[in-house]
């Protein structure tokens, strides 16, 4: 079924904003675009993307597990999704709010200890400590090309979203997964033993 595919942002300006292709799913649309414009593959792999089915509103974006589902006859919008910025500003904001809470507790209660003052001081202290810890913690960046090169072919990232891959880089967080999830593993420890085998 022919449908309109819109490529937004800088890639749209470079490779074409509107396409009319015979595709059934968002994943097919991405494969078709890469086939028509091979240089677009590198752009897709390097960025973060949001797929919107229907009118271009954030509420119509679909989850990664739905990119292989039939999209009906609605248009598809492929939009760059920018990663969140401003972690340092958030941490500084936590420190400021925590300091204001502590000062308000002292001023409002006149320096007297009470249940409300204790709660305000403890919340303020936790905000200040969290902000300071966030400023002192290094921001780990993961090289997506390393995960692509070291992962098995079936675990390599797709053209649109990062697929399931095992993380072997040092210093990353170890998640606690509850329930059923489709995630890669995080290597906590590994060892190799060598043995002489008589021949």
Is 178 a domain residue?
A: no
Range of the domain at 31: 2-80
Res 49: pLDDT: 86
Res 104: pLDDT: 87
Res 1: pLDDT: 73
- Based on the domain organization, do 22 and 76 belong to the same domain? yes
Res 146: pLDDT: 47
Of 80, 106, 124, at which residue does a domain stop? 80
CATH number reported for the structural domain that contains residue 21 in this entry:
3.10.20.30
In degrees and rounded to multiples of 5, residue 182 shows phi and psi of: -100, 90
Direct distance between the N- and C-terminal alpha carbons of the chain, in angstroms, rounded to an integer? 64
Is 56 a domain residue?
A: yes
- Based on the domain organization, do 75 and 6 belong to the same domain? yes
CB of 160 within 8 A of CB of 61?
Answer: no
Q: Residue 127 has which token pair?
A: 């905000």
- Based on the domain organization, do 8 and 74 belong to the same domain? yes
Which residues neighbour 181 within 8 Å (Cβ) at sequence distance 6 or greater?
Answer: none
Is 191 a domain residue?
A: no
Res 164: pLDDT: 57
Which residues neighbour 60 within 8 Å (Cβ) at sequence distance 6 or greater?
Answer: 52, 53, 54
Res 145: pLDDT: 46
The total number of structural domains that make up the chain = 2
Res 150: pLDDT: 52
pLDDT one-digit tens code per residue, 4-27: 999 998 888 888 889 898 888 888
Q: Which residues of the chain have pLDDT under 70?
A: 82-88, 111-112, 138-175, 182-184
Of 35, 55, 80, at which residue does a domain stop? 80
- Based on the domain organization, do 48 and 69 belong to the same domain? yes
As beta bridge partners, residue 6 has 18, 77
Is 107 a domain residue?
A: yes
């Amino acid at each position: 079924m022919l449908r309109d595919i819109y490529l937004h942002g800088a890639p749209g300006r470079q490779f074409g904003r509107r396409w009319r292709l015979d595709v059934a799913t968002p994943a097919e649309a991405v494969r078709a675009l890469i086939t028509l414009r091979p240089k677009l593959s590198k752009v897709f792999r390097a960025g973060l993307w949001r797929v919107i089915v229907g009118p271009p509103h954030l509420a119509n974006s679909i989850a990664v597990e739905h990119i292989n589902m039939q999209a009906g006859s609605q248009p598809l919008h492929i939009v760059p999704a920018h990663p969140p910025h401003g972690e340092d500003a958030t941490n500084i904001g936590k420190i400021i709010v925590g300091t204001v809470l502590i000062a308000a507790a002292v001023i409002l209660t006149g320096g007297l200890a009470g249940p409300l003052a204790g709660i305000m001081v403890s919340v303020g202290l936790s905000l200040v400590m969290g902000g300071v810890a966030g400023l002192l913690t290094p921001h780990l960046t993961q090289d997506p090309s390393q995960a692509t090169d070291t992962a098995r072919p079936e675990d390599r990232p797709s053209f649109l979203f990062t697929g399931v891959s095992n993380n072997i880089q040092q210093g990353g967080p170890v998640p606690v997964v509850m329930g059923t999830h489709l995630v890669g593993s995080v290597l906590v420890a590994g060892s190799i033993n060598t043995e002489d085998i008589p021949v």
